[in-house]
Structure 1
Amino acid sequence: MAQYDALQTGAISGARAAEIDQGLRAHMNKVYGTMSVGMLITFAAAWAISGLAVTTDAGLAAAQLPNGTFLTDMGVALYASPLRWVLMFAPLIFVFGFSAMINKMSAATAQIVFYAFAAVMGISISSIFLVFTGTSIAQTFLVTSIAFAGLSLWGYTTKKDLSGMGTFLIMGVIGLIVAMVVNLFLQSGPLAMAISALGVLIFAGLTAYDTQSIKTEYIQHAVHADSEWLGKSAIMGALRLYLDFINMFMFLLQFLGNRE
């Protein structure tokens, strides 16, 4: 935090401070821009896949859901076969692999991999269009966008050091994952609601924390003129905020979404 504090208090002054500040704004614009493109890819993929999974012709249907929705062969493969477990955990495996390999990638390759991950995530969450009404999905997306913007702005502008939250929040994420896996077998409604409530709170905190962390890391590397790192850091920053947004959206959808 030393370089961040120095910039905030004016210890780094003159042309150098102005250069870092201008670079920071460009860096954050790239982070948010890359994240936004990823979000568009995710929801386009989710909508397209859900459309291919459903048919209105009962004669062509391979199966029918309890709500009356007819599934195509593709829909059965995605949502009613063992492949659904692969799709469920594929984004998590993708994230770990991407994080481990990004140092060996060029910035251009990392960006392509990020967009590929966004498409995989879209396929993984495509079932929301079968479970929830389109209107409630849109409303939840709007609520999430407003909350995310406010939390990220606060994380960017606050003078408070949020670094102490990191370990606590990551432990919370690990606990959420364990609880979600357990509830796959228990199928407990109250536990699912508790998981969703905690998920919203944890990823709300991570949104502010990650935003400040991205800002701080940029300043630290810009001071040392680490141009190679700066080329890929925007992609990783976009990935972090993308995951915060997607998870907050999915947990909020459990509360705000109207089921079909």
Structure 2
Amino acid sequence: MENRIATMTRPEASVLSTNRVIRNTYMLLSMTLAFSAATAGLSMALGLPHPGLIITLVGYFGLLFLTTKFRDSGLGVLFVFALTGFMGFTLGPIVSKYLALPNGHQIVMQAMGGTAAIFLGLSAYAVTTRKDFSFMGGFLTVGILVAFLAGLGAVFFEMPGLSLAVSAMFVLLMSGLILFETSNIIHGGETNYVMATVTLYVSIYNLFTSLLHLLGVMNDD
């Protein structure tokens, strides 16, 4: 009898667990986005220069490693804020550069609006339809790796055309990653809200910077 009751309550327990992960993920994501915006604003207010590609990559992957290592403890949350704060710090000088353009405020607002619309729209679609997008995992992994290497090539070899193509690729890839990760949470594939938050934050960050680049080129006189 006890086994029967336990079996009957497993689906309910699974739903409650999934809802808890979703709630914690979006709560932590909202706080890290606000913290990232604050560090970006501080960087802009102080007129700090961009730390450069090497420091950015070392800082990002180092903090990502620490976040992943301590994802099941309170330190994981601390490192999430360290990671997102650092990324906000690197974003400040980039936004300042665009704001210095004649129509810079319009470009930044368009990029922010586009990022919010894409994220909210895709998240709502994944949640309401509850479709399983796990099949996209392999494609996204390969695509992001290729785009990342192509982006490094565009920087080192100073190829604006390739850089523009990489930004367009990242818009598509990050949109797919939002669908994939949201679906992953809903279907129980991701049970750690710290790692879910990191994935969604990185998607939003790359989506915003890619749109910023594309809109900057399109609005360039």
**TM-score normalised by structure 1 residue count:** 0.72
What displacement does 1:14 show?
5.4
What displacement does 1:159 show?
4.8
Preserved contact between residue 123 and residue 178 of structure 2 (Cα < 8 Å): yes
What displacement does 1:198 show?
0.7
**1:238 corresponds to which letter in structure 2?**
T
Preserved contact between residue 176 and residue 195 of structure 1 (Cα < 8 Å): yes
C-alpha separation in 2, matches of 1:159 and 1:129: 35
The question of 1:42 aligning with 2:36 is answered yes
Cα distance change, pair 134–48 in 1 and its aligned pair in 2 (3 A):
farther
**1:168 corresponds to which letter in structure 2?**
F
User: 2:137 corresponds to which residue?
Assistant: 166
Cα distance change, pair 159–37 in 1 and its aligned pair in 2 (3 A):
closer
When Rg is computed on C-alpha atoms for both structures, the one with the higher figure is 1
Preserved contact between residue 18 and residue 188 of structure 2 (Cα < 8 Å): no
C-alpha separation in 2, matches of 1:17 and 1:125: 43
What displacement does 1:236 show?
1.1
Match among 238, 243, 255 for residue 197 of structure 2? 238
Gaps of 5+ in 2: 1-5, 99-103
The question of 1:102 aligning with 2:55 is answered no
Cα deviation digits, residues 118-143 of structure 1 (max 9, x gap): 11111112212321134432331122
Preserved contact between residue 35 and residue 85 of structure 2 (Cα < 8 Å): yes
**TM-score normalised by structure 2 residue count:** 0.83
C-alpha separation in 2, matches of 1:192 and 1:234: 33
Please state whether the residue corresponding to 1:127 is helix, strand or coil: helix
Preserved contact between residue 87 and residue 123 of structure 1 (Cα < 8 Å): no
User: 2:171 corresponds to which residue?
Assistant: 200
Cα distance change, pair 31–186 in 1 and its aligned pair in 2 (3 A):
same
What displacement does 1:16 show?
3.9
Q: CA RMSD for the aligned pairs?
A: 2.4
Runs of 4+ in structure 1 off by over 6 angstroms are none
Please state whether the residue corresponding to 1:130 is helix, strand or coil: helix
**1:35 corresponds to which letter in structure 2?**
L
